[in-house]
Amino acid sequence: MKSLPITIDSVRKAYGSYVALDDVSLDIRAGEFLTLLGPSGSGKTTLLMALAGFVRPDSGKLLLGDRDITRLAPNKREIGIVFQNYALFPHMNVLANVEYPLALRRRRKAEARQRALDALARVKLDGLSERGIGELSGGQRQRVALARAIVFEPRVMLMDEPLSALDKNLRETMQYEIRRLHDDLGITTIYVTHDQREALTMSDRIAVMNSGRIQQIDAPQHIYDRPSTRFVAEFMGEANIIAPGLARRIDGADAPRETLMIRAESLHLDASLAGRDGVALDGTLRAKAFRGENWLLTLALDGGQEILVCIPAALAGGCVELAASQRVTVYAPAQKVHVLPGAMA
């Protein structure tokens, strides 16, 4: 099937005085896996529902390829949707649930049956077609919802937090399964989540949203390592925002005068891991915690600001002996020190 690009052009949606989408514009490439990431109330689900046709924008346009779908009925958009609660029919068995979109489109029964079986095979549910929905595990129900969404060969797939009800191990397995399915089918996919790790694992690009606006859109590694706003920096993992004057250069050169962002895992106790062009931060240990694969240190810098330091267990030989109120210096390599654009001290 041929995937299509999506254009979101200056879309606004308000509910009374509350602005859910504030002049959002976004170009999504054909065949791309794009994630809308943000906290609750950021506008990501509203934007997804506008694309699905369940929310009508107050202004702006939505284009699927060169077709304006802004006011098109949901069933006319040929978009596959996987909802957060799966929205399966409990009175139908697995096969009937997957056949349902084809029945709506009045496909011949024999054709619908074969396509539904093929879709179930794609999501690794061969042999479960006659099962009742109530007999399935959470992961199996999620696969049924995926099969139903792809059975009519949509050009676009929308997913609204489809893994939120699963336990951690199954959730991680299904992340790779969904990405594999996307790659196999080549469907343009827009995925909504509030889980940063999920977004980083699955996406070609991530659009970080807050207060109805897109804060940054970029490849996962750039979003994480080079955030364009303080909000993105702090939302994406354990970020330390270092005020001007608190970091010093290891080589003795002039200290950075900008606001810096350094990830907790980019800081080391060993200066040799940072190189001569790296930076150093001096402070006092406030707390430490062993987390299995790493140690988490809380350090109060000399200016009073607290930062987090995440030391991998393999490099944490000195962590056991560290005591509260002890003076500690941590180091970061230059390539892991990011100047935060427009940040206030």
- Write the pLDDT tens digit of every residue in 52-110: 999 999 999 999 999 999 999 998 888 988 888 778 888 989 999 999 888 878 888 88
Mean pLDDT of all residues in 250-257? 86
Q: Against a cut of 0.75, is the pTM above it?
A: yes
Average pLDDT, the chain: 91
With residues binned 3-state (H G I as helix, E B as strand, rest as coil), the percentages for the chain, rounded to 5, are 30, 30, 40
In this prediction, residue 6 carries a pLDDT of 97
CATH architecture of the domain formed by 239-339? Beta Barrel (2.40)
Burial class for 80, CB neighbours closer than 10 Å (0-12, 13-18, 19+): buried
What are the residue ranges spanned by the domains of the chain?
6-235, 239-339
**112 against 49, higher pLDDT:** 49
* Block residue for tokens 């699905």: 52
Is there a common fold for 6-235 and 239-339?
no
Phi and psi at 324, nearest 5°, equal -55, 140
Backbone angles phi, psi at 202, to 5 degrees: -100, -25
Predicted pLDDT at 215: 96
Reported as a single tens digit per residue, the pLDDT across 180-223 is: 889 988 999 999 999 999 999 999 999 999 999 999 999 999 99
Superfamily of domain 6-235: P-loop containing nucleotide triphosphate hydrolases (3.40.50.300)
Backbone Cα Rg of the chain: 24
pLDDT in tens, 125-154: 888 888 888 888 888 888 898 998 988 888
Residue 7, number of CB atoms within 10 A of its CB? 15
